[in-house]
């Protein structure tokens, strides 16, 4: 065990220890009297002494000491009761510490580092053993340190913490890594040197495990252009998993705006726990592997053997139980897995307690026998409970009786197939829905056709029928290596729709949602949205050469499926490439089946593919580039920039090669995709590049490389396809040139892809996806930022670095409104499909915080009405949100505007808003995507108005009344607080206001000579006195002042034009100097950056 470092002076110690091994920094010692030789008389005395001591005083026979270089002082850092135990500690020191110590120049630094590391390991061991769960006091202490060191808002939830080393250059700092809901934080304090780091999860570009010469294993974090390395974790994999989960959670919540309604443990950012994150990761892996609906969660896991009848042996694996499914996956390399929906289970029997086995009977005259299940009774009861069966406590029924009952049920269902349909949840579809696959309608198979292709097709069907007889058919079919071999050879036309439904998991979605598709078709048809407009535009571009889509039958079915899906998932709505994919699905599956296949592809198999930013496709392209570097080194040496392959392969991923291959060849690729997921597409992409390696290397530019690949795809054929020429696609390239190239059969290409790259693990692909997702999203965010800055920079005088800092503050303020709640109006109304300038906007409350940090004069300090008026003044389109351009233009006036422009801004600020702000602070006039029709004419008119908008003349400004003038004067007084010339500025304002009031009185007397007393009523004189008093009245609410002034009768009110105020103020040089004084913009930005979180807290 590791020990708290204690100083030992060996020079004055008894010779009770023998050195076993050592180096420059550490020595491993054995106590005399133990081990080989016994140590003679001295060893005998030591052994006797140890034996006589009580258990609390006994000394461990082995220990490790740390020696301070060039010193006789040693520190005890570890001890062990056995040689094996102490050797493990020694090996850990050699592997993780030795190479690190060489970077230190001072011996004191070395000793401090070793001591800090050992103390961290001791704390880590205590926490891993259950400190957080069993000893909340330890976690509370860590929470107090976290709050004290980082000064984050109290709402921030600490999830967990770890001891580790943070590398600053080549020197490590031993400290603590704190992982909270929104931040990654590190703190270290050694020898008077404090290191503090706080990084938002949404700022991270890369998060990965790495290793190099100095660091055997470390975690690399790239954020804000800086690399951070953390190492020397006691459990690095566990730490990385939690970090990965938190980063992914932040991305989904802040960028994708997910609410996690199906994940209670993640639905509230204030209640996130380490256990909840680990559970979520486990559930995601479970659903992805077995292709289960997103509602399913892994509840129980049992290790067992499954009897595989076709192979006549037991395969070791794990039973995974969810609410509605019983799944099994082998762990012995046999690649066998089976999924049993609980709705298919008709009985559970336990034949023999001694073997700890149970047999599950399912429809189709099949039974699965699990043996050596540690808690088989609990598993049996769990299955019965989920199937609605009553468990017999005594299990008195005989095996034969149970089997007979199962057989009777099977026979009954075979005689009454309509009841089977009812039990699996299928109802009669709507009359508007087609109940046949389009290929069946437009290309029915001729049973008497005996040409070679049809004979081979029949042989394929026979092979699959044999497979079904051995492995089962339907949802509970065994999937093994043989299944994959049949898939690679090609699926028969007649079985394609059935197998696609099975392997994708869509069969389960459809079974548990009876009548859903017909209902949603009825609701969606006739609606008019942006999505339906795009669908209508693309309907006749979907496989236009195929007869099925040259008729109203195919077009109508395609319209219904796409419109229904857009209605179901307005977040996606409709995206180009969905029409091509759905067209192929309709050829081989019934209309309702095609809908559920589309659901499986868009929401489970290809997440985030079909949206405006196609993030999922870009992530997989990044994975593809990584695989090219790993497997096609010859190509990467020739083409160092692989972005070409990203652009050319985008359609491969979005359409599963359907857009580049003839339809008869593309369906074979779709077969593999539904069985192996994206892994099949990545493998095929590598095989295509490998096949064209020579041509790509010899190509001179991108255009030539594109031509090479296009010609290759034109020459991919399917020699076994039974489809007639009227259905098969013709080569789109130059037929003469295409004929000169050798033909490539799709089956051979797929087989080669599996042989060369089939060892690629799906789990590794998922890890690569997660690793690249952060980088892809941040790259898109950076592109958005550059576009926004390019537009805004033409309107303002800020430098490029200042604009960059402003954007970071603005975006962070947007996220701050989302960090600690799932119901933020800004979060709920954010739409990533909007224009660049509208990506991140601030509601009134977020605007109030940020504007108060950046305004140069404390303009709206403690005055909510002025904040509201400033917000309304900047909100030009009156949608209740301020975008970055509007925000920057206002600050540009306050920082760099002329005296006239600054005064004009203040003048307009005191003209009240047209309408009130809603309670949530957000008004959105633009419809949500996919739910309402977008008024394109209104957008065009707004764009035209922007172009034609001219500089506002001071003569166009309306006059301000007496109440507004009083508030305007008070605002001027508030600006000068703390200024060196404060007294002179107050006097100047007093002179200006008095002069303006006297001018107004004179003017009224000239207009009304018969009523001089009415020109300056008592209320106005009182207000004049208030304005001319050089004392601030900021403690008086402005709303009250305005109301009192507004109560004066209308016939005696006076007003001022902007020209009058401007002319009067220009006569006061001290005021002109104040407004023209330059502002230290960078200082304001730095102040806002440091105070932004605190401002949120104190709000």
Q: What's the confidence (pLDDT) of residue 1023?
A: 42
Highest mean pLDDT, choosing among 78-87, 228-237, 677-686, 951-960: 677-686
Is residue 339 over pLDDT 70?
A: yes
Q: What's the confidence (pLDDT) of residue 396?
A: 37
**What sign results for the dihedral spanned by CA atoms 522, 526, 528, 532?**
positive
DSSP letters, 834-866, are S-GGGSSEE-HHHHHHHHHHH-TT-TTTT-HHH
Task: Specify which residues 231 forms β-bridges with.
Answer: 165, 218
Strands 345-349 and 358-362: what pairing?
Answer: antiparallel
CB hemisphere CA count around 387 (13 angstroms): 24
Is residue 627 over pLDDT 90?
A: yes
**What sign results for the dihedral spanned by CA atoms 789, 790, 793, 794?**
negative
Q: What's the confidence (pLDDT) of residue 945?
A: 62
User: What average pLDDT does range 505-529 have in this prediction?
Assistant: 90
CA of residue 827 relative to chain centroid, distance: 15
Edge-to-edge strands, sheet with 183-190:
193-200, 183-190, 171-180, 158-168, 226-231, 218-223, 204-210
Say which range, 348-352, 405-409, 506-510, 922-926, has the weakest mean pLDDT: 922-926
User: What average pLDDT does range 738-748 have in this prediction?
Assistant: 76
Task: Specify which residues 9 forms β-bridges with.
Answer: 73
The H or E element spanning position 168 is strand 158-168
Contact 621, 650 (CB under 8 A): yes
Say which range, 80-94, 517-531, 730-744, has the weakest mean pLDDT: 730-744
C-alpha 284/C-alpha 258 separation (Å) is 15
* Torsion angle defined by CA atoms of residues 145, 146, 152 and 156, in that order, rounded to the nearest 10 degrees: -130
From the number of C-beta atoms within 10 Å of its C-beta (0-12, 13-18, 19+), residue 401 rates as exposed
> Which residue would you say has higher pLDDT here, 350 or 826?
350
C-alpha 66/C-alpha 2 separation (Å) is 12
Say which range, 80-89, 255-264, 505-514, 705-714, has the weakest mean pLDDT: 255-264
* pLDDT tens digits, one per residue of 907-955: 888 876 544 444 444 444 443 433 444 455 565 566 566 555 555 566 7
List, as own/partner pairs, every contact residues 633-636 make where C-beta atoms lie below 8 angstroms and the sequence separation is at least 24, other chains included: 634/693, 634/697, 635/689, 635/693, 635/696, 635/697
- What's the chain's length in residues? 1099
Output b/e per residue, 25-37; b: 16+ Cβ within 10 A: bbbbbbbbbbeee
C-alpha 841/C-alpha 837 separation (Å) is 8
User: What average pLDDT does range 241-254 have in this prediction?
Assistant: 90
Highest mean pLDDT, choosing among 20-24, 43-47, 398-402, 453-457: 20-24
* pLDDT tens digits, one per residue of 582-597: 999 999 999 999 999 9
> Which residue would you say has higher pLDDT here, 521 or 830?
521
Among 999, 915, 907, 918, which residue's Cα sits nearest to residue 958? 907
Percent of the chain surpassing pLDDT 90: 27
User: What average pLDDT does range 819-845 have in this prediction?
Assistant: 70
Q: What's the confidence (pLDDT) of residue 1009?
A: 54
pTM, two decimal places = 0.77
| Helices 643-655 and 678-691, axial angle in degrees (round to 10) | 130
Q: What's the confidence (pLDDT) of residue 374?
A: 82
**What sign results for the dihedral spanned by CA atoms 244, 247, 250, 253?**
negative
Which residues are CB-neighbours of 994 under 8 A, at least 6 positions away? 1024, 1028
* pLDDT tens digits, one per residue of 663-719: 999 999 999 999 999 999 999 999 999 999 999 998 888 888 899 999 999 999 988
The owner of tokens 């005083």 is 57
What's the whole-number average pLDDT of the chain?
79
Q: Which two tokens stand for residue 587?
A: 């050829």
Cα dist from 1030 to 970, 1024, 1058, 1060, whole Å: 10, 12, 22, 21
> Which residue would you say has higher pLDDT here, 733 or 368?
368
User: What average pLDDT does range 1057-1084 have in this prediction?
Assistant: 88
Q: Which two tokens stand for residue 943?
A: 């764009």
Is residue 971 over pLDDT 80?
A: yes
Percent of the chain surpassing pLDDT 70: 77
Is residue 423 over pLDDT 60?
A: no
Is residue 621 over pLDDT 50?
A: yes
Cα dist from 459 to 452, 491, 665, 747, 972, whole Å: 11, 11, 19, 16, 91
Supply the DSSP symbol for 952: P
Contact 879, 926 (CB under 8 A): yes
The owner of tokens 């571009």 is 541
Residue 364's pLDDT band (cuts 50, 70, 90): confident
User: What average pLDDT does range 355-380 have in this prediction?
Assistant: 86
Q: Which two tokens stand for residue 1050?
A: 């209308």
Q: What's the confidence (pLDDT) of residue 671?
A: 95
Is residue 750 over pLDDT 90?
A: yes
């Amino acid at each position: 065990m590791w020990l708290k470092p204690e100083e030992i002076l060996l020079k004055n110690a008894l010779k009770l220890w023998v050195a076993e091994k050592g180096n420059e920094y550490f020595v491993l010692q054995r106590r005399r009297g133990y081990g080989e030789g016994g140590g003679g008389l001295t060893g005998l005395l030591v052994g006797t002494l140890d034996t006589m001591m009580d258990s609390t005083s006994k000394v461990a026979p082995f220990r490790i000491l740390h020696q301070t270089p060039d010193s006789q002082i040693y520190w005890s850092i570890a001890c062990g009761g056995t040689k094996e135990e102490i050797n493990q500690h020694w090996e850990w020191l050699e592997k993780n510490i030795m190479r690190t110590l060489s970077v230190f120049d001072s011996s004191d630094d070395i000793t401090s580092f070793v001591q800090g590391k050992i103390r961290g390991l001791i704390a880590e061991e205590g926490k891993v053993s259950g400190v957080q769960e069993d000893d909340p006091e330890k976690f509370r202490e860590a929470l107090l340190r976290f709050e004290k060191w980082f000064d984050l808002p109290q709402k921030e939830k600490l999830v967990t913490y770890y001891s580790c080393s943070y590398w600053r250059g080549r020197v490590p700092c031993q400290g603590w890594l704190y992982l909270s809901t929104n931040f990654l934080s590190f703190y270290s304090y050694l020898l008077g040197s404090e290191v503090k780091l706080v990084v938002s999860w949404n700022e991270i570009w890369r998060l990965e495990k790495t290793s190099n010469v100095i660091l055997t294993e470390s975690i690399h974090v790239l954020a804000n252009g800086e690399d951070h390395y953390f190492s020397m974790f006691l459990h690095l994999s566990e730490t990385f998993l939690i970090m990965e989960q938190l980063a992914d959670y932040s991305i989904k919540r802040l960028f994708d705006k997910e609410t996690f309604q199906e994940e209670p443990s993640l639905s509230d950012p204030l209640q996130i726990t380490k256990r909840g994150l680990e559970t979520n990761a486990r559930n995601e892996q479970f659903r992805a592997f077995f292709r289960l609906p997103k509602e399913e969660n892994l509840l129980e896991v049992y290790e067992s053997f499954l009897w595989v009848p076709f192979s006549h042996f037991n395969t070791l694996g794990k039973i995974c139980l969810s609410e509605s499914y019983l799944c099994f996956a082998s762990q012995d390399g046999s690649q066998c897995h089976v999924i049993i929906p609980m709705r298919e289970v008709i009985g559970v029997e336990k034949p023999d307690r001694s073997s700890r086995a149970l047999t599950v009977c399912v429809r189709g005259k099949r039974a699965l026998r699990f043996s050596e299940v540690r808690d088989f009774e609990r598993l049996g009861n769990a299955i019965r409970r989920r199937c609605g069966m009553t468990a017999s406590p005594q299990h008195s029924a005989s095996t034969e009786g149970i089997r007979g009952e199962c057989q009777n049920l099977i026979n009954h269902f075979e005689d009454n197939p309509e009841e089977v349909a009812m039990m699996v949840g299928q109802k009669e579809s709507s009359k508007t829905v087609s109940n046949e696959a389009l290929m069946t309608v437009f290309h029915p198979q001729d049973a008497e056709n005996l040409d070679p292709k049809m004979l081979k097709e029949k042989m394929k069907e026979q092979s699959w029928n044999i497979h079904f007889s051995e492995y089962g058919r339907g949802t509970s079919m065994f999937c093994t290596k043989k299944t994959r071999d049949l898939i690679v050879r090609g699926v028969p036309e007649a079985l394609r729709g059935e197998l696609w439904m099975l392997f994708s998991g869509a069969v389960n979605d459809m079974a548990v949602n009876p009548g859903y598709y017909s209902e949603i078709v009825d609701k969606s048809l006739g609606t008019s949205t942006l999505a339906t407009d795009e669908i209508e535009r693309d309907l006749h571009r979907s496989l236009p050469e195929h007869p099925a889509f040259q008729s109203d039958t195919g077009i109508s079915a395609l319209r219904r499926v796409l419109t229904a899906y857009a209605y179901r998932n307005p977040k996606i709505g409709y995206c180009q490439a969905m029409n091509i994919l759905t067209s192929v699905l309709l050829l081989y599956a019934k209309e309702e089946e095609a809908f559920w296949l589309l659901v499986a592809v868009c929401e489970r198999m290809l997440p985030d593919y079909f949206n405006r930013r196609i993030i999922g496709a870009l992530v997989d392209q990044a994975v593809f580039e990584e695989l090219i570097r790993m497997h096609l080194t010859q190509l990467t040496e020739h083409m160092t920039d692989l972005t070409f392959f990203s652009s050319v392969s985008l359609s491969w991923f979005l359409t599963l090669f359907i857009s580049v291959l003839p339809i008869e060849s593309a369906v074979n690729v779709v077969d593999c995709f539904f069985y192996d997921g994206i892994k099949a597409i990545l493998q095929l992409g590598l095989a295509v590049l490998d096949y064209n390696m020579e041509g790509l290397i010899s190509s001179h530019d991108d255009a030539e490389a594109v031509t090479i690949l296009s010609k290759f795809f034109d020459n991919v054929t399917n020699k076994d396809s039974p489809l007639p020429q009227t259905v098969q696609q013709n080569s789109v390239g130059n037929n003469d040139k295409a004929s000169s190239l050798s033909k490539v059969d799709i089956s051979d290409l797929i087989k080669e892809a599996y042989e060369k790259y089939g060892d690629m693990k799906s789990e590794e692909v998922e890890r690569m996806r997660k690793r690249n997702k952060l980088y892809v999203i941040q790259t898109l965010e950076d592109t958005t930022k550059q576009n926004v800055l390019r537009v805004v920079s033409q309107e303002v005088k800020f430098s490029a670095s200042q604009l960059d800092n402003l954007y970071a503050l603005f975006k962070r303020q947007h996220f701050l409104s989302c960090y600690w709640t799932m119901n933020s109006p800004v979060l709920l109304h954010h739409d990533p499909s909007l224009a660049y300038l509208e990506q991140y906007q601030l509601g009134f409350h977020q605007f109030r915080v940020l504007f108060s940090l950046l305004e140069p004069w404390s303009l709206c300090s403690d005055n909510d009405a002025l904040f509201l008026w400033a917000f309304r003044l900047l909100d030009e389109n009156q949608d209740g949100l301020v975008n970055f351009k509007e925000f920057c233009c206002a600050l540009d006036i306050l920082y760099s505007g002329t005296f006239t422009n600054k005064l004009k801004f203040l003048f307009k600020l005191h003209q009240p808003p047209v309408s009130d702000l809603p309670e949530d602070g957000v008004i959105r006039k633009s419809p949500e995507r996919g739910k309402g029709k977008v008024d394109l004419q209104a957008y065009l008119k707004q764009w035209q108005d922007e172009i034609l908008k001219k500089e506002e003349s001071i003569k166009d400004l309306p006059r301000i009344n007496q109440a507004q003038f009083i508030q305007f004067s008070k605002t001027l007084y508030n600006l000068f607080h703390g200024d060196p010339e404060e007294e002179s500025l107050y006097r100047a304002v007093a002179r200006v206001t008095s002069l303006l009031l006297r001018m107004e009185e004179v003017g009224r007397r000239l207009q009304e000579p018969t009523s001089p007393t009415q020109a300056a009523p008592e209320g106005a004189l009182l207000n004049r006195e208030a304005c001319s008093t050089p004392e601030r009245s900021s403690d008086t609410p402005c709303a009250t002042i305005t109301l009192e002034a507004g109560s004066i009768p209308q016939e005696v009110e006076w007003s001022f034009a902007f020209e009058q105020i401007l002319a009067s103020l220009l006569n006061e040089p001290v005021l002109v100097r104040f407004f023209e004084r330059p502002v230290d913009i960078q200082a304001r930005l730095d102040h806002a950056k440091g105070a932004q979180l605190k401002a949120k807290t104190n709000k």
